[in-house]
Amino acid sequence: MVLIADGGSTKADWIALDNNKKEVFRVRTLGLNPAVVAEDELKNRIINMFQLIDIKDKVTQIHFYGAGCGTPKPIAILRKVMQEIFVNAETYIAEDMLAAVYAATGNKPAIVCILGTGSNSCYFDGENTQMLVPSLGYILMDEASGNYFGKILIRDYYYKKMPKQIRKEFEKQFVLDADTIKLNIYRQPNPNMYLASFAKFMFEFKDEKYIRKLIKKGYQEFFKYRVLPFKKDNSTPIYFIGSIAYYFRDTLEKVAKKHNLKINGVIRRPIDNLLEYHKNLIN
């Protein structure tokens, strides 16, 4: 049996395939980002999903693509956790950026971008991914991501830059006292997930001028640091992965057009495309 997983910081989607490439089940666990989640918690998030534990001895391969899996140390942590649970499996771990590439373009050259809880981009030449810089995460980078917009919403609320009606709705949906916010950001696990949870608010008010202006500014920053420096021909396909891109595609396309670029595709969840890619590789 083969497990294929696309793991962000907030959630991880898993699909199990039998020896005939038939889908057995799919499940979703909490995010498994080894750069921000402790080893014991990573293990708990897997073993608490009974579908995965029921087949753990039957799994022979795991293909896991995850946020935070771009450097050796977190990969080693997650591999150790996987090997302790799925004792008969060969484990392949790669950054979520590679899953985005396979889901969006397969084996064709393109610029591929992620706008989820975090953000990233790469140029794929048909064989290898080329990154501009290593991702330094939610504090220093992650332009136009969920946690990026979450920070702006909280800040605008406190500085009273948020329009009155939107402010009232924001207060209804979130606990906004300073102690709660500081506790979750500075003392609790997964502050990037906490910040990104505020970004969901934007989807409900996506036609409001304030929200659209906020989104546009974030996209402009993302293009400045994460797309334009690749200096590729304007005919190079560009793909985006993630809900932040999916729900605001019209704004994304307008920002791209200002740079004479075209968005070739936006995929909300890459797992289905990733499944087809791996089915073609399984003998």
**Do the bridges between strand 119-124 and strand 265-267 make them parallel or antiparallel, or are there none, so unpaired?**
unpaired
**Do the bridges between strand 61-66 and strand 2-7 make them parallel or antiparallel, or are there none, so unpaired?**
parallel
Q: At residue 80, what are phi and psi to the nearest 5 degrees?
A: -60, -45
Of the candidates 241, 159, 244, the one whose C-alpha atom is nearest the C-alpha of residue 195 is 244
Looking at residue 25, its pLDDT comes to: 93
Of the candidates 254, 251, 279, 249, the one whose C-alpha atom is nearest the C-alpha of residue 265 is 249
Judge contact between 103 and 109, C-beta under 8 A: no
pLDDT in tens, the chain (283 residues): 999 999 888 889 999 999 888 999 999 999 899 988 899 999 999 999 999 999 999 999 999 999 888 889 999 999 999 999 999 999 999 988 888 998 898 788 999 999 988 899 999 999 888 988 888 888 999 999 999 999 999 999 999 999 999 999 999 999 999 999 999 999 998 899 999 999 999 999 999 999 999 999 999 999 999 999 998 888 999 999 999 999 999 999 999 999 999 999 999 888 888 888 888 776 5
Beta bridge partners of 27: 14
Of the candidates 270, 280, 279, 273, the one whose C-alpha atom is nearest the C-alpha of residue 114 is 270
Looking at residue 270, its pLDDT comes to: 85
Of the candidates 148, 106, 113, 150, the one whose C-alpha atom is nearest the C-alpha of residue 131 is 113
Question: Alpha-carbon distance 236 to 250, whole Å?
Answer: 20
| Domains in the chain, CATH or no CATH each | 2-99+271-279 (3.30.420.40)
Looking at residue 283, its pLDDT comes to: 56
pTM of the model: 0.84
